[in-house]
Amino acid sequence: MASYQLKPFKKHNSRISNIIMNKDEDQIYSSSTRLIITDKNQQYKYSQTILQNITIIRCVSLQESQNKFLVCGLDKQIIVLQYYPIDQKWNKIQKINFKANGESLCFVNENQFVVQQHHKNTIQLFEFNCSNQQFEKSKEITIQKGMNSYNLGFQAQFSQEKKILITKNSQFVNIIKRTEKNEFIFISSINFDTCYIFGSMSEDGKYLITWDQKSLCVQLWELKDTHF
């Protein structure tokens, strides 16, 4: 029988807003007003504080190749970090400013990511420009406009297998398809009649699990549309 050991982690000075792991499950990325990486090879002891003394970090995303990392807080900007294997360190390579705070974001592939801003009914797509080595906005995707803008607890996710993007905007969970021509098409949305929705999509994009304040139930959704 497997055994587990509790290891207290006291490096944050405020509430933790995000916890994710890399695909090898040997590094933990946690955020509050700072971004900290802990490493399994160091018995999950303190590894590196990448960012600190900033506003509360709302959302984070790790690139599939694990070379770039996105951080978005309550300061109307996205910070792009890049990992340098020789130094084994993460460094800031770009800062993208907005007129409103970002509420969710995620990488779509190695060269694209999407971000949803506060109280907006669009999602912005950013693409990597090889000429200047920077991410630049390339298009906007229209989604359902909600009754308010509470989007905590439901981060944007993209399934590489199904090529679908799941985002939340107020009471709506939006389903967006990326075509073979690299176009993003709004397919449908689920209306929960409450903005307090928490959920996550399976890696293969087949299932979505949710909890919402109106139904007070955990629900499992299965994607059955033949177009996917």
Q: Which residues contact 217 (CB under 8 A, 6 or more apart)?
A: 211
Q: What is the pLDDT of residue 137?
A: 93
DSSP H helices in 57-149: none
- Would you state the structure tokens that stand for residue 42, as one six-digit string? 């160091």
Decide: helix, strand or coil at residue 163: coil
Q: What is the pLDDT of residue 130?
A: 92
Tell me how many degrees the CA angle 214-172-154 measures, rounded to the nearest 5.
Answer: 85
Per-block mean pLDDT, blocks of 10 residues, the chain (228 long) = 62 79 84 79 68 78 92 88 88 89 89 88 92 93 74 84 91 91 89 91 93 95 72
The phi, psi pair for 155, rounded to 5°, reads -85, 150
Q: 57-62 and 45-51 as β-strands: parallel, antiparallel, unpaired?
A: unpaired
Show me where the domains of the chain are located. Answer: 15-109, 153-227
Q: In what order do the strands lie in the sheet with 197-201?
A: 197-201, 207-212, 218-222
Residue given tokens 């699990």 in the structure block: 209
Q: In what order do the strands lie in the sheet with 89-97?
A: 57-62, 68-73, 77-84, 89-97
